Structure 1
């Protein structure tokens, strides 16, 4: 079995590549990545085949998808603030990019496509916990583009019979997630600062709530589908520095994962503390 992972040199993608290649059913994993946020180093030693370039290049996608059995579409600039700063780039990469991937999957004979969406699509809907049937209310260009990703997958399923699986990720964290840039996610940003003795930057007064998902659990679910807390983690107190809230951020996020558990009953969720401890251990090796 051959699987293509778009964005496979990125954080989630590179972890997924490793998970897929442990499966005896998977003979080859091809990665399509323009390395704008990913890195060749993330794929070192995996044996994955890297096709460097953009998902907006149909010829590259055709090359990658030829002879493949399934596609996991993860390529996207993963940041709400980045989309607020440059909404057109977010749209092109996420919405148009998804359309290009789906068209290429169709040209390749109708490949199965699993794709990353985001809990950000719930946006201004304050009801908790979040469920798949809940009203979406995007608050940022990123969230809009991810909702478009879902809609395109549904449309290609209904119009062309394409097998699809949209997955709404809730704040994925873990090894290989970069910390040293303006749009770093909260867990790597906190761990990086805490291990270096710097204050933790909190946007707003700190009353926000989030569900966090360890990347190992995410990759288990994706691989199965395709083939069938900071202080406690570090063991010492850390200083917190509050700043103004970020535009486009939602106040609270909590998932009802009962449908996911029903679909993948053998996947063991990774407790937050355990995931943070594994991630902190990885950061200490940097």
Structure 2
């Protein structure tokens, strides 16, 4: 992975903070930065949903620093921002079902923690720009397809509320304090290092695990629910390009996706093709808080930061399946 280079600048003089850097998306960003000679990467993670194993091979490098800490602690956030040029904020408590079962913790991490990071960036004398993980869940009950950044619906879960509040706070901080902030509305990111364990695992690693074990997967609903699944390398590209894009005058939010709809039935078909098996899935009731269809318009991301996703869903499935198979 990361054979394609998503920047033209020399990274050797830059320092970057990746919050949630031991997690799925964060550790992939760290991998890219190290591969292309970043001057310094500082990783902040409390290891609640991230894993040291994701970054272990980098920790002995002289340009890598790891802080085990929580974004709910303002002092830790301020310490993590010291001497940093760019903040790539990935730390959050994901999962719609988790937020429905425990809205208070989701609020603490995703809103209080996000506000702490905004304050730390505002108080920093070195940080030039903050890029943060926004979410397609912000579109809520909007049925419009494709989704465009300016038009959203009402949130359908506590998680969606927290991610929308992030955007509101970022907008206010940008206007009030003149900060450069870009939000990336991720659409169903998947790929190597995504956690397959636990009750809140995403659909693709669960499907791949089923295929590797020759088991039938469980599909919520009739399988015609569709998503704009986004391979992790596309999301990493977006972070690098958002970080280094020309100066922005205000807070911006853009969709990060591939720009195509894939149903759950199609997804399982892709995986069975790669795995060379034939198994029919089991179907059960639809999940509370989920929307039926999702598709992103990625025109703004292309215009604003030069985002051009290189990996289709099927391309990503092949790479991801091979990774899980070799890491069983």
**Is the TM value for this pair above 0.5?**
yes
Report how far residue 285 of structure 1 moved: 1.0
Q: Is the 8 A contact 1:232 1:273 kept in 2?
A: no
Residue 8 in structure 1 maps to residue 18 in structure 2: no
The equivalent position to 2:180 in structure 1, one of 163, 175, 179, is 163
Q: Distance in 2 between matches of 1:256 and 1:235?
A: 33
Q: Which moved more, 1:235-244 or 1:111-120?
A: 235-244
**Are the aligned partners of 2:134 and 2:163 in contact in 1 as well (CA < 8 Å)?**
yes
Check whether the contact 1:8–1:33 (CA below 8 A) recurs between aligned residues.
yes
- Provide the C-alpha distance between the structure 1 equivalents of 2:35 and 2:243, rounded to a whole number of angstroms: 13
**Superimposed CA distance per residue, residues 11-45 of structure 1 (whole angstroms, 9 cap, x where no aligned partner):** 00000111122334x20111111100100110022
Kept in 1, the 8 Å contact 2:83–2:126? The answer is: no
Q: Which one of 70, 93, 96 corresponds to residue 54 of structure 1?
A: 70
1:34 matched to which residue of 2? Answer: 46
Unaligned runs of 5+ in 2: 1-13, 246-269
What is aligned with 2:4? none
Superposed, which structure 2 residues align to 1:1-286 within 5 Å?
1-24=14-37, 26-46=38-58, 47=61, 48-109=64-125, 111=127, 112-228=129-245, 229-265=270-306, 267-286=308-327
TM-score (norm 2): 0.84
Deviations 1:17-76 (A, max 9, x none): 11122334x201111111001001100222331100100111211221110011111111
CA distance in 2, matches of 1:175, 1:159: 39
Q: Secondary structure at the match of 1:168?
A: strand
SS in 1 for 2:226: coil
Give the direction of change, closer, same or farther, for the CA distance of 1:138–1:237 in structure 2 (3 Å limit): same
Maintained 8 Å contact 2:241/2:306? no
Whether the aligned pair in 2 keeps the contact of 1:198 and 1:239 (CA below 8 Å) is: no
**Partner Cα distance (2:273, 2:163) in 1:** 33
Q: Distance in 2 between matches of 1:98 and 1:276?
A: 31
Q: CA deviation at 1:110?
A: 6.5
Distance 2:275 2:151 in 1: 36
CA contact (8 A) 1:19 1:220 kept: no
Q: What is the SS of the residue equivalent to 2:98?
A: helix
Q: Please give the alpha-carbon distance, in whole angstroms, between the structure 2 residues aligned to 1:18 and 1:271.
A: 21
Aligned length: 285
CA distance in 2, matches of 1:214, 1:238: 24
